[in-house]
Every structure is written in structure tokens, then in C-alpha cells.
Amino acid sequence: MAGITLTQQASGQRQATSPWLNPKLVAGLVMVALVLVLTLIGLILWDVTLARAASSPLNLPPFWVPGGTMAHPLGTESSGRDLLALLIVGGPMTLQVGLIVGITSMVIGIVLGFAAGYLGGAVDAVIRTLSDTALTIPSLAILIVISAYVRQMDVTTMSLIVALLAWAGPTRVIRAQVLSMREQGYVRMARLTALPTPHIMFREMMPNLLPYLAASFIGSASGGILAAVGLEALGLGPQRIPTLGMTVSQAIQGSAILRGMWWWWGTPTIVLMVIFIGLFLVAIGLDEVVNPRLRGVRG
Amino acid sequence: MRGLSLGYVIRRVGMFFFTIWASATVMFFIPRLAPGDPVSAMVTRLTSQAGRVEGSAALITAWRQRFGLDDPLLVQYLRYLRGMLTFDFGYSLAQFPTEVGAMVGRAMPWTIGLLLISTVLTFLAGTLIGALMAWRRTPRLLRWFLPVSLTFTAIPFYILGIVLVYVFVFALGLFPVSGGYRNDLTPGFDFAFINSVIQHGTLPAMSIVLASMGFWALGMRGMMVTVAGEDYLTLARAKGLRPLDVLFRYEVRNAILPQVTALVLGLGGIVGGTVLVEYLFGYPGMGALLYQGITNSDFTVIQGIVFILILTTVTAVLIVDLIYPLLDPRITYERR
């Protein structure tokens, strides 16, 4: 019994503060913001042209390892690029992909999800079939086919291609929510008072969808980054700009792991991990904000 | 069959064929939407890689004829669909006399084996972790440890794979670096070969399992929390059943079934991740073959493998969807 009282007290205390101050949510946001702020500061302070090949000495270790210099604090790789410059250029690119994919797929998700959930009928059947189809297909496979044919790949093009296949998840989530919300009292009331449909959709229902929208934004952003890093690793990403995935992939091809050049694959991996874990924490945090039952369970 | 109406089966099988048709069609039209055609695109790529290609104009004409690219689009499309349905993907562009079907056939057992084993392991590990996370009798130490194990989930398969290679191959020297088996062994059902296959497969499987079990764990935790308030649990405890019995026979048994649907949603992601893991470990499966195809601009190989990957995933999802109502009598597809 003691355990039960304790959890009740704990959840009672949490209710006093805003659920948006969820520790996981805050921690995740801080991690993502940290990557963004540090790389933006880096863009101002560090010489980014060092990210070009043959701009620096080859295979230098980081400065704290014997042989490293402060001129290249995180070391350099086999074609003479400075890793710090690579991270500064690649980090914001990665976040940009997430932002574009997240926004695009969320907008598509809102339009299709509302259309399916609110209008119902044949529209719903078509949209549901399409999104179920899109969900079961391994999207990376289709992405590979598309990217293999696009000759001039840049970050925006890649993000839009990824977003084309990332809308199904948000659409399903939003459709399900709209479907259950449509029958609730305040929406029925609004319909009875003959408010225009767009007004009901965007002024009455949308605010209640915000946590779900945020969650699906984070979900597609992190899924988009995942797909983009995969494409970059396979050599299908942008070729002119050094991305994090491309750096890791080149490190593997240069067998950096077995040559003991851990900084070559390690530093971009750490940045990617911080981004992914950050987004993951945000997602879990949002889940707990939306679904109060999960807050009671520690973990 | 309880819970499985004829109408549902027909609709579901219809979806199956629709999905395959839709993805095959997308793959047919994408190359044709791109400026130029696949053949001259390939020659362009070859030129940019090798400096210049001897007689590229003649090559283009020859290839165009061979692939029937001068026929009307509809004829090409129907021929393409027939080829896909009969698993006739044509010849590899890079290794000319080899047929794509033969290449894929050689690689397929490796990928299917890796996928099957790691998916089953992931499902078991993830479900157990999720159940323990929500169980109120879980020891305090474990409660701290379990969420930490979930942070792996956030990391892409192949990034985790790199870390595993560093730790287990470079630092500890426990496993071989790459490949599917030792080169000096001939494939066969003897101990040395199987042992070598297991040694080579451990790290790729481990990166898939570690990176995706959290997905199942989170779903399981959610379901366990939902089940936790049920009256039958209170009754089971009041009857004085042993706590472990209550956990496995009452809580887990009721919470585990929706996990099967999670399998449906997660499979596509796992297949995509496996492609990258195979590339990283030089595993002789379809992912590595796909990477080869990409670096050689071998479009027929890319097309063939992607089609097989989609077919495999969609078939697996169909099987799960059809078995599911049989597993869970609470689910019926009577309506709709």
C-alpha cells in the first residue's frame, strides 16, 4: 500500500506544475538547441573553408592526443578536411533536413488527416488506403530508387523527396484524433450553430490537436533525418556539401575504425546521437504530456 | 475462422496487390520523370566517373534498343510489369551477362535469415523490457537500468553498428570485421561453416536488436499501463497467485497482442535499416548488393532488389495481418 500512496503523492505534485515542463521534453529540447547554437557559433568563429578537401594536413588526431594541434582541435581526416569545420557545416544541414521534412509532412498530414477524418466516406477510404499502403512499404527502398536518378542533389531536394514518403504517419495520427474529436460536444455545438467548416476545423479543433501535431512533427523530423543520413551513407545525398552522414560513410570506406582514427567517425556520430537522442526524448516527453497515464509510471 | 471474415480477407489481399502494383509503378515512372533516360543517365555517370566512355553514342543506341526504350510508354510499362511479376529483372548493367534474378537469389537467404533472427530477438527482448518497465514489482536497480537501454532506440542501426565494430572488433577483437563467413570455408552444413556464419552474423544482428528493441519496449509499456488497472488483475492477486504468474499469464498475455500490430508498422523501417547494416558489415545480403548497384549505377539491380525488398515486407505484413485476428479473439473485422 505504501507504494501506491507514494505514486499518488508524486503524481499529485506533478499536477501542480505545468505538464509542458516535463523533464524529458526539456532535456531533449536543450540537446537539440545545443547542437544548433554551438554550430551557429562555430559558423561565425571557425574557418568553414577548412571543410574542403586538401585544406588541412592529413590524418591529424585531436589536440589532446599526442601529435594533435590546436589548429585542428578535432583532428583531420584522410583527404585533408578539418573535422571541426565538417561538424559545423554538417550539423545545421542535418537539422535543416529534419525541419523541412517535419513541416512538409505535417502540413500534408493536417490536410489529408482532416479531409479523411472530418469528411469521411469515399475521401476517407481513399486516403486511408493510400496511407496504409505508404506505411507498409520500406520507404528507404523507394528513396534509394528516386535518389539514384536525381543527379543534382542538394539538401532541400533531398528533404522534399524524403518528405514525400513521410506523410503517412502524421496523416494516420491526425485522422484518428479528428475522428474521435468530431463527435465531442463542443464540435457538435459548433456545427449546430452553423459555423463555417474551416472555422470549426482550424479554430475549434486544431488547438486541441497541438500536442499530437507536435509529436508527429518530431516523429517525422527524426524519421526524416534518419532516412537522410541513410541516403548520405549510401552516397546518394548531396555531393557538394559535406553532411554528417557522408563524413561517417567516408570514414567507413577509409576503414577509419580499423586504423584507429576514432575521431573521424566518432565526432560526427556523437553529433548525430545527440540530435537523435534529443528528438527521442522530446517525443517521449510529448507522449507523456498528451497521455497523463504514462506520467505515473517511472521510467 | 473466428474473427476473420471473408470480406476482410478479400479486402486485405486486394490491398496487398495494390501496394505491390503501386510501388512497382512508382519505380517505373520515376526514372522516366527524370530528365534523359536511364541509359544515357548511366552513360553520363560512367563518363563522370571514368573520364570518358568509348563510343558512348553507339552504346546509348544499343542499350535503348535492348531495353525497348523507343517503344510506346504503355508497351514498356506492361512489359515491365510482366517482368516484375515473373521475377525477371533483366540483366545487370554493370556485370553484363549476369541476370539480376540470380544475383538477388544468391543474396536473399542472408538477408531473410538476418532479418528473421534479429526481428524475433528484438521482439522478445523489447517486449520483456517493456513489461518489466511497467511491472510494479520490478527491482529498483532494474528500473534505473531499463530506460537507459532504450536510448539505443534513438540511434540509427548503422551508427550503432559503427560503435559496435569499434568496441568488439577494434578494441576487443572478438568478432570478424566483415563478410558472411570465413573465405577459406566452403558453404555447407558442417560445424565450422555454421560457426563462422554465427560469428559473422552476431554484430549485424546485435546492432539491429539493440537499436530497435526500444520501439517494442515503449509500446509494451503503454499497453501494460492500460492493462494494469483491470479488475481481473486485482482478482488474480486477491486469489493469492504468485506475482510472476500474474505478470506473465495475466498482464503480459493481455498486453502483448497489440504488439503484433507494432510489428506491422515497424517492419518497413527494419528492412531499410538492415540495408545499411549490411552495407556497413559487408554482409553478403541484398543490402550490400544494393550498395554495389548504387555505386555502379546498375539500375536494373537497384530496381530488382528494391522490388524484392518491398515484396518481402508487404508479404510479411499481409501474413501478420491475417494471423492477428486468429491470435486475438477480441479483434474481429466484421464491420467494414
Distance CA A289, CA A286 (A): 5
In a shared domain, residues B244 and B148: yes
Give the contacts of A261 (CB within 8 A, at least 6 positions apart): A59, A61, A75, A77, A78, A251, A254
The whole-model pTM stands at: 0.79
- Predicted local confidence at residue B66, as pLDDT: 67
In a shared domain, residues B238 and B206: yes
A290 close to B (CB below 8 A): no
Distance CA A161, CA A154 (A): 11
- Predicted local confidence at residue B51, as pLDDT: 59
Picking from B35-49, B242-256, B300-314, which range would have the lowest pLDDT averaged per residue?
B35-49
Nearest by CB to A142, from B26, B267, B276: name it: B26
B175 to chain A, closest Cα gap in Å:
13
A196 close to B (CB below 8 A): no
Distance CA A174, CA B116 (A): 32
Residue B39 has pLDDT above 90, yes or no: no
Q: pLDDT band at B37, cuts 50/70/90?
A: low
- Predicted local confidence at residue A46, as pLDDT: 84
In a shared domain, residues B122 and B162: yes
Domain hosting residue B227, numbered range:
106-290
Name chain A contacts of B291, Cβ cutoff 8 Å: 234
Let me know if residue B227 belongs to a domain: yes
Let me know if residue B253 belongs to a domain: yes
In a shared domain, residues B159 and B132: yes
As a whole number of Å, the end-to-end CA separation of chain A is 20
- Substitution target from A97, A130, A140 for chain B, most B beta carbons within 10 A: A140
Q: For A257, name the nearest residue in chain B, comparing CA atoms only.
A: B166
Maximum pairwise Cα distance, chain A = 76
Q: How many domains does chain B have?
A: 2
In a shared domain, residues B210 and B314: no
In a shared domain, residues B115 and B208: yes
Name chain A contacts of B156, Cβ cutoff 8 Å: 226, 229-230, 272, 276
Nearest by CB to B225, from A227, A281, A293: name it: A293
Nearest by CB to B294, from A133, A234, A262: name it: A234
CB atoms within 10 A of CB A71: 12
A11 close to B (CB below 8 A): no
Residue ranges for chain A with pLDDT beneath 50: 1-16, 297-299
CB B157 within 8 A of CB B276: yes
- Predicted local confidence at residue B294, as pLDDT: 81
Let me know if residue B101 belongs to a domain: no
Cα A117 from chain centre = 26
B109 to chain A, closest Cα gap in Å:
18
Q: What is the CATH number of the domain that holds B286?
A: 1.10.3720.10
Q: What is the mean pLDDT of residues B322-333?
A: 70
- Over its C-alpha atoms, chain A yields an Rg (Å, rounded) of 23
B160: left (phi over 0), alpha (psi -120 to 50) or beta: alpha
At B99 the three-state DSSP class reads strand
Q: What is the mean pLDDT of residues B30-56?
A: 64
- Predicted local confidence at residue A295, as pLDDT: 59
Name chain B contacts of A153, Cβ cutoff 8 Å: none
- Residues 35-64, chain A: which have Cβ within 8 Å of B? none
Q: What is the mean pLDDT of residues B211-230?
A: 80
The percentage of residues in chain B with a pLDDT greater than 70, rounded to a whole number, is 82
B189 to chain A, closest Cα gap in Å:
31
In a shared domain, residues B53 and B83: yes
Let me know if residue B319 belongs to a domain: yes
Between chains, do B221 and A148 touch, taking CB under 8 Å as contact? no
- Predicted local confidence at residue B167, as pLDDT: 85
Distance CA A78, CA B165 (A): 20
CB A12 within 8 A of CB A272: no
Name chain B contacts of A138, Cβ cutoff 8 Å: 267-269, 271-272, 309-310, 313
- Predicted local confidence at residue A34, as pLDDT: 92
In a shared domain, residues B135 and B240: yes
For A82, phi and psi rounded to 5 degrees? -85, 125
For B99, phi and psi rounded to 5 degrees? -85, 145
A137 to chain B, closest Cα gap in Å:
6
Higher-pLDDT residue of A90 and B145 is A90
**Quick one: cell of B200?**
559473422
Distance CA B155, CA B161 (A): 10
- Predicted local confidence at residue A125, as pLDDT: 87
Distance CA B19, CA B11 (A): 12
Let me know if residue B100 belongs to a domain: no
**Quick one: cell of A129?**
488506403
Chain A / chain B CB contacts < 8 angstroms: 154
Let me know if residue B135 belongs to a domain: yes
**Quick one: cell of B132?**
518489466
As a whole number of Å, the end-to-end CA separation of chain B is 17
Tens digit of each residue's pLDDT (9 = 90 or more) over B239-288 = 888 888 888 888 888 887 777 777 777 777 788 888 888 888 888 888 88
For B36, phi and psi rounded to 5 degrees? 80, -165
Residue B336 has pLDDT above 70, yes or no: no
B170 to chain A, closest Cα gap in Å:
6
In a shared domain, residues B175 and B153: yes
Domains within chain A, CATH numbers bracketed: 91-299 (1.10.3720.10)
Between chains, do A273 and B159 touch, taking CB under 8 Å as contact? yes
Name chain B contacts of A139, Cβ cutoff 8 Å: 268, 272
A82: which strand partners? A76
Between chains, do A294 and B222 touch, taking CB under 8 Å as contact? yes
Between chains, do A297 and B27 touch, taking CB under 8 Å as contact? no
Nearest by CB to B19, from A137, A139, A297: name it: A137
In a shared domain, residues B215 and B237: yes
Higher-pLDDT residue of A16 and B155 is B155
Tens digit of each residue's pLDDT (9 = 90 or more) over B84-127 = 888 877 777 766 677 888 888 888 888 888 888 888 888 888 88
Between chains, do A137 and B23 touch, taking CB under 8 Å as contact? yes
Nearest by CB to B294, from A144, A276, A299: name it: A144
CB A218 within 8 A of CB A102: yes
At A12 the three-state DSSP class reads helix
- Substitution target from B276, B278, B290, B318 for chain A, most A beta carbons within 10 A: B276
- Predicted local confidence at residue B335, as pLDDT: 46
Distance CA A274, CA A27 (A): 11
Between chains, do A144 and B290 touch, taking CB under 8 Å as contact? yes
Burial of A164 (0-12, 13-18, 19+ CB in 10 A): middle
Give the contacts of B292 (CB within 8 A, at least 6 positions apart): B94, B298, B301
**Quick one: cell of A232?**
548520405
A46 to chain B, closest Cα gap in Å:
27
In a shared domain, residues B121 and B60: no
If you ran DSSP here, which 8-state letter would residue A76 be given? B
Residue B50 has pLDDT above 80, yes or no: no
- Substitution target from A35, A133, A164, A287 for chain B, most B beta carbons within 10 A: A133
Distance CA A106, CA B297 (A): 33
Q: pLDDT band at B3, cuts 50/70/90?
A: low
Between chains, do B30 and A145 touch, taking CB under 8 Å as contact? yes
Give the contacts of B177 (CB within 8 A, at least 6 positions apart): A258, B165, B169, B281, B282
In a shared domain, residues B281 and B320: no
**Quick one: cell of A154?**
542538394
Rounded to two decimals, the ipTM of the complex is 0.75
CB A101 within 8 A of CB A93: no
A141 close to B (CB below 8 A): yes
3-state helix, strand, coil in chain B (%, to 5): 75, 0, 25
- Predicted local confidence at residue A30, as pLDDT: 93
B134 to chain A, closest Cα gap in Å:
7
Let me know if residue B139 belongs to a domain: yes
- CA distances A130 to A162, A167, B15, Å, are 17, 10, 10
- Predicted local confidence at residue A137, as pLDDT: 80
Average model confidence (pLDDT) across chain B: 78
Residue B185 has pLDDT above 80, yes or no: no
B187: left (phi over 0), alpha (psi -120 to 50) or beta: beta
Let me know if residue B315 belongs to a domain: yes
